[in-house]
Amino acid sequence: MNVQLSDTASRRAIAILPDSLINKIAAGEVVERPASVIKELLENSIDAAATRISVVVQDGGRTLMRITDNGCGMSEEDARLAFARHATSKIRDVDDLFSIQTLGFRGEALASVAGVSHATLITRRPTDAGGIRLDASESVIGEPIPCAAAVGTTIEVRDLFYCVPARRKFLRSDATEFGHIHDMVLRSALAQPDIAFTLEHNGRKVLELPAVTDTAERIAAAIDKDLRGRLLPIHHEDAAARITGFIGVPETARGTNRHEFIFLNGRYIRDRSMLHAMKEAYRGLIDPHQHPVAILYVEMDPAAFDVNVHPQKTEVRFRDANIPFRMVLGALRQKLLQTDLTPPASLNPDSSTTSTPPLRTPAPVRTSSLDETRQVLAEFFRQPPIQPQPALPLRGPGESPSIAPAADSMPPVVAEPVPSVEEETTAREPMPPIVAPALNIKCIQLHNRYIVAEDDQGIVLIDQHALHERILYEELLSRVRKGPLESQRLLLPVMVEVNDRQANNLERVRPTLEKLGIEINRFDAQSVAVQGLPPLLARLDAGAFIRLLLDYLDEADCNIGDEALLHEILDMASCKAAIKAGDPLSATEIDALLIRRHEIERSSNCPHGRPTTVRLSFAQLEKQFKRR
């Protein structure tokens, strides 16, 4: 398109813009919405060494925002200058610009704010007998008048954008605008646990955060009380950086990434690679669609990155782009691996699984029938009601009985001959508690679905399918890291019907499948044949697996990376190869599961992030039995 300047425009003489207009233009940059004002004012209060900051907002900030701090205050002279453009007490020369310690330093925030609102400043230094008050509106700065005031500074901003209708039009609903304000206060509160914050909207207290020395307590108070006792401390230090902070245990994960915070040298930033690393560290511990709670404080040599100097931007550019990712992943991964993440069993029937409420006595259990008992148990463990199901043989009909486990690759669960369905339901006596020799712990399978075992902290309840799935996943992953898995030919290939597109999709992922020792070939125009599987996947329901994979590939992003694809396929394969709920297990099989549980990483959760195990601790049990 050809844009031409109009004649009038090109003939206009150059003129120096009046201050009021400059301020409005600058305001466009600095003040995008009410939350940007809050951000600037919070930064000023923090720079003024305040230990208490209160924020009062009305109507999403559009009619009123008032920030009060108990910081150093301003002299009359400084107060006059505060609203002037490029007035700052924070830099004097170019050197200062590069050694800046404070948050704001461009000296234009207050001028910009005053350019697009009715602003009032009330301030008093500790040494002054009284305060002064100064009004500024559309860049007209009034005369300071003496007034009564507490030590510190209050800045009131009314009717934001009253003189810039174009801006006002772009404001969203009060709730949305307030949401942004809330985020800003949250960021400051997380960065500064030693400062007390309050936030009020339309007369309602939204945040009330006393100053604390314990950052974890601030995080829980600011984000969610349920995080108390469920945050893991992070501490990592190397030549490049230091990372401290807290991350939530897997069951605190959220559907939103709003609870991932990174502060770089005290400044809130949003860095894609670090956010990605956070998620990656939790891979397999939480549902892939969820996000962890993580608050990280990163300290780095300022020479190692560039802060985008635009006041609203939160991005930074690192000299070595790989460092932040590696560091965050390493720090979090190490913490998650060394922590026993088995969630405690929650005995409160009406609580959600994402919170650990104080234990309450469950409703009295009167068990008149087996069904009722099942119902109570199901509720107890918050699982769908247990349907009496026929026991499944360990090998599905479509699977190959021809694979013998290779000598060097004991399958995680020893596949030994299992009684047929009829024998199982009629003849089997309740399984007596068994002592697993290698672990020397007592355990039992219940409802062909759960394994109950003792451990040194109490009783663990294990979902057999979830645990086996996790075991397979980890074993496959660690094997495939060392090189392609060996494939063993099936005696009878498993046939799956496909259309052309599906066949092409399968062709695309063939290299990954081959790495895993899964051999698939086109059989004829309408079908493919699974011809080989690795011993570890001896129990794979190949048909179900391929159908799952086809569905996935139908919807998957064509550009999915090799690594992500590998994890997806591992997910599906381990799910379809794992023992199922309803499969009766022999004593040896249970032992094998429990032994593996201790050996593998992240055994507390299945690859989809659901827990494999819950624990009833001695403390919980004693409380339930009223011994304490």
Q: Is 490 left (phi over 0), alpha (psi -120 to 50) or beta?
A: beta
Min dist. Cβ of residue 112 to ligand ADP (A): 8
Q: Which pair of structure tokens corresponds to residue 136?
A: 């500024």
Among 105, 261, 450, 473, the residue binding ligand ADP under the rule CB under 6 A is 105
In the complex with Mg ion, the residue whose CB is nearer, 109 or 498, is 109
Among 29, 32, 59, 87, the residue binding ligand ADP under the rule CB under 6 A is 87
Using rule CB under 6 A, residue 23 touches ligand ADP = no
In the complex with ligand ADP, the residue whose CB is nearer, 113 or 227, is 113
Rounded to whole angstroms, the Cα distance separating 177 from 423 reads: 66
DSSP element (H, E) containing 564: helix 562-577
In the complex with Mg ion, the residue whose CB is nearer, 45 or 356, is 45
The residue range among 82-90, 370-378, 432-440, 454-462 that interacts with ligand ADP, by the rule CB under 6 A, is: 82-90
In the complex with Mg ion, the residue whose CB is nearer, 57 or 111, is 111
Q: Which of residues 28-67 bind ligand ADP (CB under 6 A)?
A: 40, 44-45, 48
Confirm if 191 and 268 have CB atoms less than 8 A apart: yes
Using rule CB under 6 A, residue 75 touches ligand ADP = no
Among 36, 54, 68, 88, the residue binding ligand ADP under the rule CB under 6 A is 88
Min dist. Cβ of residue 380 to ligand ADP (A): 55
Among 106, 180, 201, 602, the residue binding ligand ADP under the rule CB under 6 A is 106
Min dist. Cβ of residue 46 to ligand ADP (A): 9
Using rule CB under 6 A, residue 267 touches ligand ADP = no
Rounded to whole angstroms, the Cα distance separating 219 from 229 reads: 11
In the complex with ligand ADP, the residue whose CB is nearer, 82 or 548, is 82
- Partner touching 412 among Mg ion, ligand ADP, none, CB below 5 to 8 Å by kind: none
Query: Total residues contacting ligand ADP (rule CB under 6 A)?
Result: 24
In the complex with ligand ADP, the residue whose CB is nearer, 153 or 620, is 153
Render 55-91 in DSSP notation, one character per residue: EEEEGGGTSEEEEEE-S----HHHHHHHTSTT--SS-
Look up residue 48 and give its amino acid.
A
Alpha-carbon dihedral angle through residues 574, 579, 581, 586, given to the nearest 10 degrees: -160
DSSP element (H, E) containing 550: helix 542-555
Confirm if 312 and 32 have CB atoms less than 8 A apart: yes
Rounded to whole angstroms, the Cα distance separating 74 from 71 reads: 9
Among 37, 55, 72, 471, the residue binding ligand ADP under the rule CB under 6 A is 72
- Partner touching 498 among Mg ion, ligand ADP, none, CB below 5 to 8 Å by kind: none
Q: Which pair of structure tokens corresponds to residue 287?
A: 């549902």
In the complex with ligand ADP, the residue whose CB is nearer, 67 or 480, is 67
Rounded to whole angstroms, the Cα distance separating 450 from 282 reads: 25
Confirm if 564 and 432 have CB atoms less than 8 A apart: no
Binding mask 109-138 for ligand ADP (x = CB under 6 A): xxx---------------------------
The residue range among 81-89, 256-264, 323-331, 396-404 that interacts with ligand ADP, by the rule CB under 6 A, is: 81-89
Using rule CB under 6 A, residue 74 touches ligand ADP = yes
Site residues, Mg ion (CB under 5 A): 44, 104, 109
Q: Is 460 left (phi over 0), alpha (psi -120 to 50) or beta?
A: beta
The residue range among 74-82, 208-216, 369-377, 450-458 that interacts with ligand ADP, by the rule CB under 6 A, is: 74-82
Using rule CB under 6 A, residue 153 touches ligand ADP = yes
Confirm if 125 and 150 have CB atoms less than 8 A apart: no
Rounded to whole angstroms, the Cα distance separating 208 from 190 reads: 13
- Partner touching 533 among ligand ADP, Mg ion, none, CB below 5 to 8 Å by kind: none
In the complex with ligand ADP, the residue whose CB is nearer, 307 or 439, is 307
CA atoms within 13 A of residue 187's CA, in its CB half-sphere: 24
What secondary structure letter does DSSP report for 235? E
Confirm if 284 and 602 have CB atoms less than 8 A apart: yes
- Partner touching 174 among Mg ion, ligand ADP, none, CB below 5 to 8 Å by kind: none
- Partner touching 88 among ligand ADP, Mg ion, none, CB below 5 to 8 Å by kind: ligand ADP
Render 172-233 in DSSP notation, one character per residue: --HHHHHHHHHHHHHHHHHH-TTSEEEEEETTEEEEEE---S-HHHHHHHHH-GGGTT-EEE
Smallest CA-to-CA distance from 257 within 243, 270, 244, 242 is with: 270
Using rule CB under 6 A, residue 139 touches ligand ADP = no
Using rule CB under 6 A, residue 197 touches ligand ADP = no
The residue range among 108-116, 184-192, 253-261, 485-493 that interacts with ligand ADP, by the rule CB under 6 A, is: 108-116
Pairing of strands 441-446, 434-436: antiparallel
Min dist. Cβ of residue 73 to ligand ADP (A): 6
First to last CA, the chain: 80
User: Contact residues for ligand ADP (CB under 6 A)?
Assistant: 40, 44-45, 48, 69, 71-74, 78, 82, 87-90, 104-111, 153
